[in-house]
């Protein structure tokens, strides 16, 4: 268990252990650690092609840093303003080059791990933090990592998709393209309207003509997704199901992530029987997913506008400057 500094949490953990109240929690960690994972080979082959091309695509950084190094001005020694400008530009260039190299190394490490396990199952032992949230212990490559990690991984043991699973596969695919604020029917329609793209992706995820930047090459559709590598994995899985004689019986290995909407606020809404709050955090039925941050933003903007009308200086400075991002961060 990951503990915060201090002795209180360790004391409570020992007390729970002495009272034999950790069995269910530890069994859950065991179940997570015993889950077999595997590398999605078609996705890996697409990743390898992009990596070897040296191009910057879908979170894979370019082989080289192509930003031109700033030119030192002739009046560097005599003009303080020119010297300062050059120093700032040079610092930005050096930082950019270092960041690109770091990202390239990190991506290379993930690809090397995936290649090492191409023909072997993987296991991720887990631990948990003081809140009870479980995390994989291997830090560099796991199913809770970035889009590249998630796209490269799949369950080693497949299960029949079923009609319900096929439905959620479509929802998942639409979500990966940023359609998660649409109704379920609209998301299903989005996938069905793009079946031709999906089938083409499954046949040739990363065309050589596109990687070679040939003028008539078409950009692969999955690269336009918010999470492109997961979208590629979902497209391949969906195409496999549609091409099978019985799609509902297709054996899928795909992992689909689902997340709550502000879990803390969900608990508060449930405990307080707050129907309005429940609607904002998707505990109550609605046609479309709700966004609590946008709801809070609307309330904050209304209060700021009221104070601005009364001449409050702080409100006048905040008018038209609040954003959803600010609300989420605070």
Q: Which residues contact 60 (CB under 8 A, 6 or more apart)?
A: 47, 50, 51, 107, 148
pLDDT at residue 130, as a whole number:
79
Find, among 136, 167, 170, 165, the residue nearest to 153 by Cα: 136
Q: Which two tokens stand for residue 278?
A: 């429940």
Alpha-carbon Rg for the chain, nearest whole angstrom, is 25
pLDDT at residue 1, as a whole number:
65
pLDDT at residue 181, as a whole number:
86
pLDDT at residue 240, as a whole number:
95
pLDDT at residue 279, as a whole number:
86
Q: What are phi and psi of 127, to 5 degrees?
A: -130, 180
Left (φ > 0), alpha (ψ -120 to 50) or beta: where does 238 sit? alpha
Q: Which two tokens stand for residue 327?
A: 């609300």
Whether residue 155 contacts residue 39, with contact meaning beta carbons closer than 8 Å, is answered with no
Q: Which two tokens stand for residue 199?
A: 């089938």
Q: Which two tokens stand for residue 68?
A: 């031109």
* Helical ranges in 194-284 per DSSP H: 195-203, 208-211, 228-243, 263-271, 275-280
Instruction: Report the DSSP beta bridge partners of residue 57.
Output: 60
Find, among 182, 195, 232, the residue nearest to 46 by Cα: 232
Instruction: Report the DSSP beta bridge partners of residue 136.
Output: 126
Q: How far apart are CA 98 and CA 101, in angstroms?
A: 5
pLDDT at residue 252, as a whole number:
96
Q: Which residues contact 28 (CB under 8 A, 6 or more apart)?
A: 134
Q: How far apart are CA 251 and CA 228, in angstroms?
A: 23
Concatenating the DSSP letter of every residue in 47-76 gives HHHHHHHT--BTTB--SS--SPPPPPPTTT
Give buried/exposed letters for 169-189 (b at 16+ CB in 10 A, else e). Answer: bbbbbbbbbebbebeeeebbe
pLDDT in tens, the chain (330 residues): 677 777 888 888 888 889 988 888 899 999 999 999 999 999 999 999 999 999 999 989 999 998 999 999 999 899 999 999 999 999 999 999 999 999 999 999 999 999 999 999 999 999 988 778 899 999 999 999 999 999 999 999 999 999 999 999 999 999 999 998 898 999 999 999 999 999 999 999 999 999 988 888 889 999 999 999 999 999 999 999 999 999 999 999 999 988 778 888 888 989 999 988 888 888 888 878 888 888 889 889 999 999 999 988 888 898 888 898 888 877
């Amino acid at each position: 268990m990951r503990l915060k500094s201090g002795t209180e949490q360790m004391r409570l953990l020992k007390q729970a252990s002495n009272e034999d109240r950790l069995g269910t929690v530890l069994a859950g960690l065991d179940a997570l650690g015993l889950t077999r994972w595997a590398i999605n080979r078609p996705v890996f082959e697409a990743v390898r092609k992009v990596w070897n091309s040296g191009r910057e695509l879908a979170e894979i950084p370019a082989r080289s840093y192509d930003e031109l190094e700033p030119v030192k001005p002739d009046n560097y020694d005599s003009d303080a303003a020119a010297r300062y400008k050059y120093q700032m530009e040079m610092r930005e260039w050096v930082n950019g080059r270092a960041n690109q190299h770091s990202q390239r190394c990190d991506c290379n490490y993930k690809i090397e791990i995936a290649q090492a396990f191409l023909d072997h199952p993987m296991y991720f032992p887990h631990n948990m933090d003081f809140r009870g949230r479980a995390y994989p212990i291997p830090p560099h490559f796991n199913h809770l990592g970035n889009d590249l990690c998630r796209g490269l991984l799949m369950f080693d043991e497949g299960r029949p998709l079923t009609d319900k699973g096929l439905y959620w596969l479509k929802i998942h695919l639409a979500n990966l393209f940023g359609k998660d604020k649409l109704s379920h029917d609209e998301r299903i329609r989005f996938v069905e309207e793009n079946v031709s793209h999906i089938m083409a992706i499954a046949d040739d995820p990363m065309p050589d003509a596109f990687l070679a930047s040939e003028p008539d090459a078409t950009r692969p559709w999955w690269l336009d997704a918010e999470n492109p590598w997961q979208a590629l994995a979902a497209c391949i899985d969906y195409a496999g199901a549609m091409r099978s004689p019985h799609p509902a019986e297709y054996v899928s290995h795909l992992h689909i992530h689902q997340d709550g909407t502000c879990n803390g606020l969900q608990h508060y809404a449930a405990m307080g029987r707050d129907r309005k709050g429940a609607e904002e955090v998707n505990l109550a039925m609605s046609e479309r997913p709700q966004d609590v941050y946008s709801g809070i933003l609307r309330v904050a903007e209304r209060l700021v506008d009221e104070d601005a009308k009364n001449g409050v200086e702080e409100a006048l400075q905040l008018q038209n400057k609040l954003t959803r991002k600010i609300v989420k961060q605070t």
